Structures are given as structure tokens and as C-alpha cells.
């Protein structure tokens, strides 16, 4: 997906769709996450375009952005959901998601999470270990239902992405070793409270090459053939997500090229194809609006201290990730190299380093491509309330999450008698 396109200049001022970013700052303050309703719709429909003649399900990866309004929008478009916790299950159901379009991934599913998912009648558990399979059967037998499962296979394929978001190698914690998967399927086949539905594979995130997806699918399909020979017939193949976006100069495959490559491999199978995109649908549909509090310099550095910090946007600190920064109102000031940093008391609190920018104190800045793993990874470190979230729909603005107040942060805490 192309870089954030709903942000554009009008007479030297940045707009989100038809709304000035200055208007949003005046009404909601900063830092504020801004999402484009029409960009979200366009992304989903573009992904789905090449799949309309196939038996498919697009399950949005909730961990990328779990705001209720965004989940509700995707549910209205017919999306399913890939969840990794009981909390995400509750969010999806509250947002109007169809439980029969939910797949439950993650390596550490608890007894209570499994029970809640079974009672909700979800589509499938993506099983990540033998121990988990045994636990799911035990919980299912306790409430006397059959648990629908697929096994998440680790194909040992290098996704060529950041090591923290690579999930398909042998030294990653995810999935069942490819060489152990057949035996686990055979064991599952003999379990009274387990119903085998499919097979799952997910090799990582922000993948910008087609080859890792194809290589992983080849391994998965070879296992599907082995399962057939053992009289195990699947109703779906879940190929995961992970397709990247353009943050700077990356060139991920277009959705149509990606889906065509997958369909060419899988067209002879009479199964539903499940995709689990996250970042690809929301990453470039969101930005983070912030204000310059101070400019500071020493002998070697110029710093722009903004009111957004690592607790608001963790990706630069965690992954050394790049996000483009744009000035909301054009300036005539001198172009200088800045480290753009936040107020959190950590040297690792930065948004960008060595960026050429024209800045003054109190300027508004727009941090691009933050719709994925921005708000969903935010925290209250340094007792900072999390940012507000708004969605624009042409010239309309909707507050979809109010800014946290200080009192919100300690309302669950209690003093003890002294």
C-alpha cells in the first residue's frame, strides 16, 4: 500500500481528507491519532478485489489497531478477525464482529480464554503447541463441545524482516515445528473433543518481498498433501498476514500481485483461504499529530522536543523504525538537522533522528504511517495519559477515543491503611 495518501497540503497547511490538522489540534489537543475512514475502506476493498471469485475470509489482525470504531468499520465490510487474547475477543464481539469469522492465535492461551472462545463459538483456534492442544481438548470436554482447531506450522522460512517481528523461523517461539506437525495432526485426529478444521502459517510482519510468502506456502501445501494421505481433510488454509507497507522507500508487492501469487498456488484445493492482514490495512490509514514544545541545541545536536513520546509511538524505540515527519504549516525558517524526541525520561525516547526540518517552537508536526502498532502499543509510562483518537470522514471529525486524564490512570489503585 502506498504511503499515507489522505494527508495533503492545501494553501500550505496539511489536511486529513477535508479537515485541517490545525482544526483537529485546536479541538482535541495533541498528541492525537488521526485515522481516515475512506482510506481504511479503500485498503480493505483493494485487498479483497482479487479474491471476490474465491472462497475466502479476510481476518483483520486486531493487534495492529484495536480501536472499537475501526473494528466495527471492518466488521461492517464483512471482515473476520485474528485475535491473540481474551481481551481482543471481547473487543471484537463488542464491535459487532461475527464470532464465526474469528481465528484465535497466540502461544499462551489461558484456560479462561479458551473457554470464553468456545462459548462464543469462534471459527477456529490456531494451535501453537502440543501442550495447547491438550489444554483445548480438556476445556472442550469440560463444557462438552468440540473445539475447532488448525495447527500453526512453523515452516522455518526467513521473512527478511526485523528479527523482533519475524515469526516463522525455528528460533522463534511461534508455531509447531514443521517436522512435528503431521504427528500432532494425527494425535488431534484421535481426540474426542477436537475437530480439525485447517492449517495455519504466519511468518512475520512488514514483509516486503513475495518470495518468503510463496516459499512458506509451498511447505504448507506439502504438508496438506501428507494430511490427505492420512485421511485428514481440511476445510481451510490460513496463510497468515505480514505483507508490508511503505514507510520510507520500501516496495512491498501490491495486493493484487500478492493475492494472485497465493491463488496460483492454491487454486486446485477445495478449501476456504484465510488471510490475516493487519498493518497492510491500517498502517497508512493513520497519523500521529504532535506539537513542538521546545527547541534545544548543544555543540553537536539540535533537538526538537515534541509532546508525543515513546509511550505514544513505541516503534522507533523498539525497532529503530522510520516514520516520515511533516510540518503542518509551511515555514520560512532555516532548514536544520533535528533529533525529534519526546519528554519521557529515557534516552531511547525518540521519534526520529537526524531529520532535516524547518521548525519553530509550538509548530504542529504530523508523524506519518502510524495507523498500525501505534496506539495499540502505547502505554502510560511516566504517568502519561494515552493520546486521543479521531476518525475523519471527508469534512467530518469523530472522536473515537477520548484522551486519558491523570485520574483515569490511577482509578483502579487503592491506598492501604497507614
Q: Is 204 annotated as a binding residue?
A: no
Which residues 6+ apart lie within 8 Å of 215 measured at CB? Answer: 155, 157
CA–CA distance, 296 with 298 (Å, rounded to integer): 7
| Sign of the alpha-carbon torsion through 325, 350, 283, 254 | positive
Residue 319, Cβ neighbours under 10 Å: how many?
15
Q: Is 279 annotated as a binding residue?
A: yes
Q: Is 113 annotated as a binding residue?
A: no
CB distance 49 to 256 below 8 Å = yes
Q: Is 276 annotated as a binding residue?
A: yes
Is position 59 annotated as part of the catalytic site? no
Catalytic site residue from 59, 124, 201, 345: 345
HSE (side-chain half, CA atoms, 13 Å) at 11: 3
Q: Which residues are paired to 82 by β-bridges?
A: 61, 103
Q: Is 346 annotated as a binding residue?
A: yes
CA–chain centroid gap for 357, Å, is 29
C-alpha cell at 123: 471459527
* Binding site, annotated residues for substrate: 279, 315, 319, 346, 373
Give the active site residues: 345
* Binding site, annotated residues for pyridoxal 5'-phosphate: 242, 276-279, 373
* Binding site, annotated residues: 242, 276-279, 315, 319, 346, 373
Amino acid at each position: 500500500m502506498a504511503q499515507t495518501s489522505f494527508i495533503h497540503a492545501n494553501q500550505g497547511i496539511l489536511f486529513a481528507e477535508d479537515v485541517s490538522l490545525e482544526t483537529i489540534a485546536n479541538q482535541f489537543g495533541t498528541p492525537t491519532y488521526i485515522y481516515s475512514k475512506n482510506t481504511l475502506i479503500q485498503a480493505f476493498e483493494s485487498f479483497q478485489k482479487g479474491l471476490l471469485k474465491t472462497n475466502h475470509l479476510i481476518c483483520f489482525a486486531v493487534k495492529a489497531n484495536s480501536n472499537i470504531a475501526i473494528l466495527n468499520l471492518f466488521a461492517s465490510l464483512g471482515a473476520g478477525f485474528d485475535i491473540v487474547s481474551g481481551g481482543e475477543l471481547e473487543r471484537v464481539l463488542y464491535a459487532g464482529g461475527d464470532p464465526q469469522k474469528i481465528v484465535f492465535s497466540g502461544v499462551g492461551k489461558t484456560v479462561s480464554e479458551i473457554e470464553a472462545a468456545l462459548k462464543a463459538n469462534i471459527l477456529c483456534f490456531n494451535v501453537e503447541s502440543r501442550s495447547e492442544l491438550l489444554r483445548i481438548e480438556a476445556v472442550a470436554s469440560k463444557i462438552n463441545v468440540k473445539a475447532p482447531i488448525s495447527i500453526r506450522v512453523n515452516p522455518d522460512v526467513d521473512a527478511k524482516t526485523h528479527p523482533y517481528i519475524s515469526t516463522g523461523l525455528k528460533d522463534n517461539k511461534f508455531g509447531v515445528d514443521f517436522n512435528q506437525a503431521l504427528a500432532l495432526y494425527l494425535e488431534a485426529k484421535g481426540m474426542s473433543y477436537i475437530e480439525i478444521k485447517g492449517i495455519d502459517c504466519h511468518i512475520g510482519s512488514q514483509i516486503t518481498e513475495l518470495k518468503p510468502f510463496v516459499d512458506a506456502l509451498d511447505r504448507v501445501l506439502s504438508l496438506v498433501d501428507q494430511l490427505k494421505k492420512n485421511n485428514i481433510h481440511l476445510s481451510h488454509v490460513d496463510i497468515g498476514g505480514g505483507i508490508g507497507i511503505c514507510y520510507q522507500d520500501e516496495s512491498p508487492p501490491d495486493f493484487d500481485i500478492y493475492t494472485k501469487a497465493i491463488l496460483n498456488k492454491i487454486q486446485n484445493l477445495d478449501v476456504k483461504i484465510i488471510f490475516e492482514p493487519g498493518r497492510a490495512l491500517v498502517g497508512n490509514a493513520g497519523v500521529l499529530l504532535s506539537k513542538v514544545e521546545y527547541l534545544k541545541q548543544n555543540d553537536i545536536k539540535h533537538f526538537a522536543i515534541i509532546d508525543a513520546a515513546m509511550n505514544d509511538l513505541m516503534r522507533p524505540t523498539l525497532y529503530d523504525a522510520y516514520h516520515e515527519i511533516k510540518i503542518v504549516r509551511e515555514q520560512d525558517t532555516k532548514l536544520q538537522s533535528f533529533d525529534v524526541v519526546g519528554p519521557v525520561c529515557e534516552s531511547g525516547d525518540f521519534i526520529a533522528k537526524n531529520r532535516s526540518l524547518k521548525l519553530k517552537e509550538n509548530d504542529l508536526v504530523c508523524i506519518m504511517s502510524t495507523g498500525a502498532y501505534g496506539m495499540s502499543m502505547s502505554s502510560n509510562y511516566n504517568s502519561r495519559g494515552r493520546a486521543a483518537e479521531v476518525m475523519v470522514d471527508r469534512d467530518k471529525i469523530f472522536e473515537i477515543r477520548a484522551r486519558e486524564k491523570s485520574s483515569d490512570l490511577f482509578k483502579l489503585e487503592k491506598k492501604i491503611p497507614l
